[in-house]
Amino acid sequence: MNCRTFVIVFVLLFSCFGYSQNKQLLYGFAEMPNTLLSNPGAETNFKFHAGIPGLSGLSFNIGSSEATIADLFLNDKIDFTTKFKNLLGKLTERDFVDFNTKIEILNGGFRLNKKMYVSFGLYQEIDFIGYFPDDIVNSLYYGNGNNVYKTIHFSEIKYKGDALGVLHAGVSYKVNKKLNIGGRFKLYSGSLHLSSNNNSGTITTVNGDTNIYKQYLSNLNLNFYSSGLLDEDNNVNIDATETIGNFFLSKNIGVGIDVGFTYHYTPQIEFTGSVLDIGFVSYTKNINNISIIGSHQFDGVEVLFDETNTDYWSPINKDYLEELYNEAKANVPSETNTNSFVSWRPIKFNGAVKYSYGRARSIKECYDETYKEYYSNSVGVQLYAITRPLSTQVAATLFFEKSISEKFHAKLTYTANDYSMSNIGVGVSTQVGIFHMYGLVDNIFNMTNLAKAKSASVQFGFNLIFD
């Protein structure tokens, strides 16, 4: 495998595997404290809770919009080059790298009065999306010969990533027997950032007179933003100690809010919804931005090969490459700056309707001296959406919940999203005394062979709940 192929394989693997933010198993499940982060208007039936530090909520999700590891590395007697070309041909500019991780460092809450439950905490989040630059990658792999008179658009360059700490506090308020609303305030502490979007400009290759090809770079307007990633020489330089510290106390500060509700249309029909991360981070420190603006004609590299010389690349000497670089830089100047910028958070939307049946008994809720109808089964549908640079991503989920007892619940989901149209998930939530734990596994039928899986997800957490 040559260097060029290795680089593109690296990009492809990242394009194949990413993390998903959709918490379809966690949303609205079993009235446990962790659901408050996906819907601040969720109902609670306990006096107070405390998450186990660092273990209250963790999620690991990996998925593929098109390809799998097996597409490249399955031992099926097909040579790697053929597999690589087949995979390259499957991906388009709408395929993406998408990952999100969240670790709840602190999580707690308490009942303030009969109608109000207060929750608070601190979590770390990493969120990144990068779209596959179809024309650019194909041009790199196959060379200019396959792209003569074809215009390649730099608008395909789209990516955005944030690593940040989130300090939050929220309130869930019982308006009446039917309606529960909630809100959450968030203070963001930005640690790392990189983004590039709304780029423009093209490159076109044509047959030249003296050299083999000519390239025309036209109307370039490329902008790359970063914080905490690059040093003064534009080299990647991440200080681990500083990065971790900025999760908790950074000078890159932002604010945001979550809102949500739970509405009982009837005792058996329930509507829920939430909008999360309406907010931004203002990056003012450790900034290194790059912009490229202009047009340029590039005549390519004319190399005369000497059949008696085995060092084929010797004609391309250092001085000649520097000359080409300086020519391009003079005609298409790039500038660096430390200007502050704002990164808007990706807004998430959740909504669900649930029908409950199979009533077993009524449960007295000591905090408001009322009785709640207890149903052993429920079915429903959930919708999820997230704003992204190219388009809004959407997922739809059908679910079935089974309450084995008051303290033991199970959930089964079927989800259709960008990764798969047949994603089956299973989750359980149980409480023994004050100790609560939950575990959620998505795309469960492919967990035994992750190489062929387009998506997989594992979420779990441990809490102390005091009724």
pLDDT digits (tens, 9 = 90+) for 200-242: 888 887 876 655 677 788 888 899 999 988 766 666 767 777 7
Average pLDDT, the chain: 78
Contact 15, 132 (CB under 8 A): yes
Residue 71's pLDDT band, with cuts at 50, 70 and 90, is: low
Residue 77's pLDDT band, with cuts at 50, 70 and 90, is: low
Q: Locate 287 and state its tokens.
A: 């900034």
pLDDT digits (tens, 9 = 90+) for 304-324: 445 555 554 455 455 555 665
Residue 88: strand, helix, or coil? helix
**Mean pLDDT, rounded, for 354-358:** 92
Helix axes 134-142, 3-16, angle to 10 degrees: 150
Q: Which of 81-95, 374-388, 393-407, 408-422 has the lowest mean pLDDT?
A: 81-95
Q: Which of 25-29, 180-184, 398-402, 408-412 has the lowest mean pLDDT?
A: 25-29
- Dist CA 173 CA 269 (whole Å): 20
DSSP state of 147: G
Q: Which residue(s) pair with 359 in the sheet?
A: 375
pLDDT of residue 277: 95
pLDDT of residue 274: 96
Tracing tokens 């902008």 back to the chain, one arrives at 223
Vertex 265 angle, CA 263 and 269, to 5°:
95
Q: Reply yes or no on whether the pLDDT at 383 is more than 90.
A: yes
pLDDT of residue 402: 92
Q: Which residue(s) pair with 291 in the sheet?
A: 223, 335
pLDDT of residue 293: 86
**Mean pLDDT, rounded, for 353-367:** 71
Residue 80's pLDDT band, with cuts at 50, 70 and 90, is: low
Q: Reply yes or no on whether the pLDDT at 379 is more than 90.
A: yes
DSSP state of 54: T
pLDDT of residue 68: 54
Q: Reply yes or no on whether the pLDDT at 3 is more than 60.
A: no
Output 43 or 145, whichever has higher pLDDT. 43
Q: Reply yes or no on whether the pLDDT at 5 is more than 50.
A: no
Residue type, 134: D
Contact 136, 161 (CB under 8 A): no
Q: Locate 289 and state its tokens.
A: 């931005």
pLDDT of residue 72: 55
pLDDT digits (tens, 9 = 90+) for 8-40: 444 444 444 443 455 778 898 877 899 999 999
pLDDT of residue 270: 95
- Dist CA 286 CA 261 (whole Å): 39
Q: Reply yes or no on whether the pLDDT at 401 is more than 60.
A: yes
pLDDT of residue 17: 40
Contact 296, 217 (CB under 8 A): yes
pLDDT of residue 305: 47
Contact 246, 189 (CB under 8 A): yes
Q: Closest by alpha carbon to 417, among 448, 396, 387?
A: 396
Output 124 or 418, whichever has higher pLDDT. 124
Residue 453's pLDDT band, with cuts at 50, 70 and 90, is: low
Q: Reply yes or no on whether the pLDDT at 441 is more than 70.
A: yes
The domain limits of the chain are 3-398
Q: Closest by alpha carbon to 30, among 466, 372, 410?
A: 410
Q: Closest by alpha carbon to 451, among 71, 59, 19, 97?
A: 71
Vertex 121 angle, CA 116 and 126, to 5°:
130
Residue 152's pLDDT band, with cuts at 50, 70 and 90, is: confident
Residue type, 429: S
pLDDT of residue 353: 96
pLDDT digits (tens, 9 = 90+) for 259-304: 999 999 999 999 999 999 999 999 998 898 988 888 877 765 544 4
pLDDT of residue 246: 79
Q: Reply yes or no on whether the pLDDT at 350 is more than 70.
A: yes
pLDDT of residue 389: 85
Q: Reply yes or no on whether the pLDDT at 343 is more than 70.
A: yes
Q: Reply yes or no on whether the pLDDT at 421 is more than 80.
A: no
Output 270 or 335, whichever has higher pLDDT. 270
- Dist CA 212 CA 304 (whole Å): 11
pLDDT of residue 373: 62
DSSP state of 451: G
**Mean pLDDT, rounded, for 245-250:** 81
